[in-house]
Chain A
Amino acid sequence: MDIFAQLLVNGLIAGGTYALAAVGYSMVYSILKFINFAHGSIAMVGAYITFFLAIQSLHLPLPAAFFLSMLLTALLGISVERIAYRPLRRAPKLSTLTTAIAVSFVLDAAVMILMGADIKTFSLPVMQGYSIGPVLITPVQIIIIGASFFFMLLLYILLTRTKLGKAIRAVADDPSLAEASGINANVIIAAVFGIGSALAAAAGSLIGLDTNLQPTMGFLITIKAFAAVVLGGLGSVYGAIVGGFIIGIVENLGVWVIPPVWKDTIAYGILILVLFVRPAGLFGSVEQAGVLQQ
């Protein structure tokens, strides 16, 4: 029972990071109806930038490195959108998917060349953990889950209370109508990519803090984020959050019953299962999702 509780807590922590990654993913999907396959790689770049700034070179205090990384990654996301995705806005969906995958490969390769393929960790000083009943939580884990919630809350406020948020929701709902109302869709799309990438960077850095850094982590983050979005329901940003937590928990509880080497496969399994059994996910609608061939 103790192990169960501990695994559950670990699952919640990981789930928080996945939820954060998924939320950025879902935002981009709502606006452009396109699966940004490079999302995980962008998260990975964010993680590595944080690492570079904090540990490898400038030795900035971690929070500063963290936020700077979010900013720089946002710029990266906006550039990627401008260079690789915007020319394809009218192209068939398959073209954008191909390009997104290519972008992820390019980013992965670039990081591998610049930072090396070895596993890196943030090597924070070991701190005393807190015991809550049978469960042990380290301060880092508290920071991670706290940060996840913080950013999700920030996003909620942005989307519902600000003018930008309203504009984003307008464009997501009906782009031509939004344009006709005087909203510049291109600017909004760039903003969404920027915000989504910043959130991805945050998620990536937090995942790096929770586990470690390797150039191949991008792909896994993409799959897990996508699984979370699909599970929660395509088009539902809050569904993505729920999906993220579910995946984190199932993953961590899963290693109780199956050998740990299969841990990452769980997310794939969930993804495939959802798409076959209930493509709309938990909170979406099938017709809206457009998953099945007519």
Chain B
Amino acid sequence: MLRIENLSKDFGGLRAVDHCSFEVPAGTIFGLIGPNGSGKSTIFNLVTGFLLPTEGEIYFKGERITGWPPYAIVRKGIARTFQLVRVFRNMTVMENMLMGPKHQAGENFVAGVLNLPAVRRQERENVRKARELLAIMGLERFENEYAGNLSYAEQKLVEIARALMTDPDFLMLDEPASGINPTLVENILQHIRRLRDEHGKTILLVEHDMNVVMNLCDWIVVLNYGQKICEGTPETVSCDPRVIDAYLGV
């Protein structure tokens, strides 16, 4: 589904990502872990088009997407969340959700202003879909609440729900469990598992919390100082001496 080849990114004198390569197979939950500063979020930004790589290529569904602008990459079927939750704080939860769907007829200036029947039909359909998703996440009562007024955990769920509204094949979650009360984390993990099992989505996640990672992921890549130092199943990776060294030898 996603393949990165020899990806590197320099910031001035600092090499944040160093010749990284890996491939994410479809229908898996893939974990990207590593100590702080190992380049995980940079890879996220590179894949989603928010940063331009210094070297290397990125392929999605077999197509080369290196250097594409973010909106084009999203249109191809990738959706992402951010490390520090980003929702539109001064817009309602429903509005946030309605920003999700791609190819909305009403987003075309002329069609939107004229409020064509197709536009109205799509809006109704999107509202229905949004309500469904919000119900699954347990957020339906916040529909008309400003997103900024929700708790951090609730905002994270909104962000994930909103990303799902883009109908992605590939979902990139940046630290979905961080900042969340441990009791609520299992809730989020359930949703993520369901996405893979019931909806056939592929998920790439960056996470710090080793429990989450070990519990959830089918396959893990470990980064340190921008380089891939190990990859494998959770069991393999947790026993690998290089990984232990990276995490403990800081």
Interface residues, chain A, with chain B CB atoms under 8 Å away: 285, 287, 294
Contacts and interface: CB of A to CB of B under 8 A. Distances in A.
3 contacts: A285-B12, A287-B11, A294-B50
A294 B12 CA distance: 17
Contacts of B11: 287
Contacts of B50: 294
B223 to A, nearest CB: 23
Nearest to B45: A294
A53 B132 CA distance: 74
Interface string B12-27: 1000000000000000
A294 B50 CA distance: 7
A287 B13 CA distance: 13
Nearest to A288: B12
A4 B11 CA distance: 45
Interface residues of B, number: 3
A19 to B, nearest CB: 29
Contacts of B12: 285
A285 B12 CA distance: 10
A287 B50 CA distance: 13
A122 B20 CA distance: 68
Nearest to B70: A294
A287 B16 CA distance: 16
Nearest to A285: B12
B167 to A, nearest CB: 25
A53 B50 CA distance: 56
A285 B11 CA distance: 12
Contacts of A287: 11
A287 B11 CA distance: 10
A285 B13 CA distance: 13
Contacts of A294: 50
A235 to B, nearest CB: 14
A294 B52 CA distance: 11
A285 B50 CA distance: 19
Nearest to A294: B50
A294 B82 CA distance: 15
Interface string B52-69: 000000000000000000
A287 B52 CA distance: 13
A285 to B, nearest CB: 8
B156 to A, nearest CB: 22
A236 to B, nearest CB: 16
A148 to B, nearest CB: 34
Give the 3 A-B CB pairs with smallest separation, nearest first: A294-B50, A287-B11, A285-B12
Interface in B5-45: 11-12
B48 to A, nearest CB: 12
B165 to A, nearest CB: 23
Interface in B50-95: 50
A20 to B, nearest CB: 32
A221 to B, nearest CB: 35
B166 to A, nearest CB: 19
A21 B201 CA distance: 59
A294 to B, nearest CB: 6
Contacts of A285: 12
A183 B50 CA distance: 36
A287 B12 CA distance: 10
B51 to A, nearest CB: 9
A223 B12 CA distance: 31
A123 B11 CA distance: 56
A292 to B, nearest CB: 12
Nearest to B50: A294
B1 to A, nearest CB: 26
Nearest to B51: A294
B240 to A, nearest CB: 36
A294 B11 CA distance: 15
A61 B12 CA distance: 53
